[in-house]
Amino acid sequence: MTKELICICCPMGCRMTIELDGEKVVSVTGNTCKRGSAYAVTELTAPVRMVTTTVRTADGVSIPVKTKEPVPKERIFDCVSEIKKAEVTLPVRVGDVIIENVASTGIPVVAAKTVPCR
Partner 1 sequence: MREFDLAVIGGGPAGMAAAVAAKKKGLDNIIIFERDAQLGGILNQCIHNGFGLHTFKEELTGPEYAERYADMVRELGIPYETGTMVLNISDDRTVTIMSRERGVEGISAKSVVLAMGCRERPRGALGIAGYRPQGIYTAGTAQRLINIDGVLPGKECVILGSGDIGLIMARRMTLEGAHVAAVFELMPYSNGLNRNIVQCLDDFGIPLLLSHTIIDIKGKENLEGVVVAEVKDGKPIAGTEEYYPCDTLLLSCGLIPENELSRACGVDINPLTNGAVVDDRLQTSIPGVFACGNVLHVHDLVDYVSAEAAKAGESAAEFVRSGQTSGDGTTINLIPKNGVRYTVPNKFSADFPDNELHIRFRVTGIYKNSAIVLKCGGNEIFRKKTMIMIPSEMQDIAVKKDVLAQAREDVEIMIEGEAQ
Beta-strand runs (E) in 14-78: 15-21, 24-29, 48-49, 52-56, 62-67, 71-72
Q: Is 13 in the site for partner 1 (CB under 8 A)?
A: yes
Query: What's the CA gap between 18 and 84, in Å, rounded?
Result: 37
Q: How far is the CB of 78 from partner 1 (least distance, A)?
A: 12
The 79-98 site mask, x for binding partner 1 (CB under 8 A), equals -x-------------x----
Contact of 90 with 118, CB cutoff 8 Å? yes
In the bound state with partner 1, the residue whose beta carbon lies nearer, of 6 and 97, is 6
Q: Is 53 in the site for partner 1 (CB under 8 A)?
A: yes
Task: Count interface residues toward partner 1 (CB under 8 A).
Answer: 26
Element (H, E) at 44: helix 34-45
Q: Helices then strands (H, E): number in the chain?
A: 2, 9
* Binding footprint of partner 1 on the chain (CB under 8 A): 6-8, 10-13, 32, 49-50, 52-54, 56, 60, 62, 64, 66, 73, 76-77, 80, 94, 112-114
